[in-house]
Amino acid sequence: MLGTLVRYLRFLGYDTRSATEIGPGGAEEDNLLLRLAVEEGRILLTRDRELARRGGILVPEDDVLDQVAALARAGLVEPVLRLDRCSRCNTPLRPATRKEADTAPFVAGRDETRFLWCPACRRLYWSGSHVDRLTERLDRVARMVHHSRR
């Protein structure tokens, strides 16, 4: 339900898990999610009202930027791009070796570009126009949060 939000939280540097990564759903899934949240010291975010009532935090917003803004207003996240976790698997990123960086397609300014590598899923990250767009979105979120606090 919150897959895009999970990716955004990872872009922000938060250690996140998604229910889809834990296993198939089922009658016991809610109990498992609640138990794991307690055992791992996590905050359980959900769009399921019953699950929120039982111990999660309801995320009623549909748009991911509205979701991030609501979490920021609640003091749960800071909308600052960190790019230090893999958006797919949540593993902390490390600087890429030259060989790993060479797997990137054409990158303008390659010699000045900082490349990061996910050692778990072998994905390469770098700051390109996609990072500029993500930064602009998060700047909008920060302005939304700031205006709502007035």
Alpha-carbon gap, residue 57 to 43, rounded angstroms: 8
* pLDDT on residue 117: 96
DSSP state letter for 26: -
pLDDT digits (tens, 9 = 90+) for 31-58: 999 999 999 999 999 999 999 999 999 9
Alpha-carbon gap, residue 103 to 115, rounded angstroms: 11
Q: Which helix (H) or strand (E) holds 46?
A: strand 45-46
pLDDT digits (tens, 9 = 90+) for 94-145: 999 989 988 888 766 666 688 999 999 999 998 888 899 999 999 999 998 9
How many helices (DSSP H) and strands (DSSP E) are in the chain? 7, 5
CA–CA distances in Å: residue 9 to residues 23, 35, 47, 52: 20, 21, 16, 19
Identity at 119, one-letter amino acid code: P
CA-based radius of gyration for the chain: 17
The whole-number average pLDDT for the span 11-40 is: 89
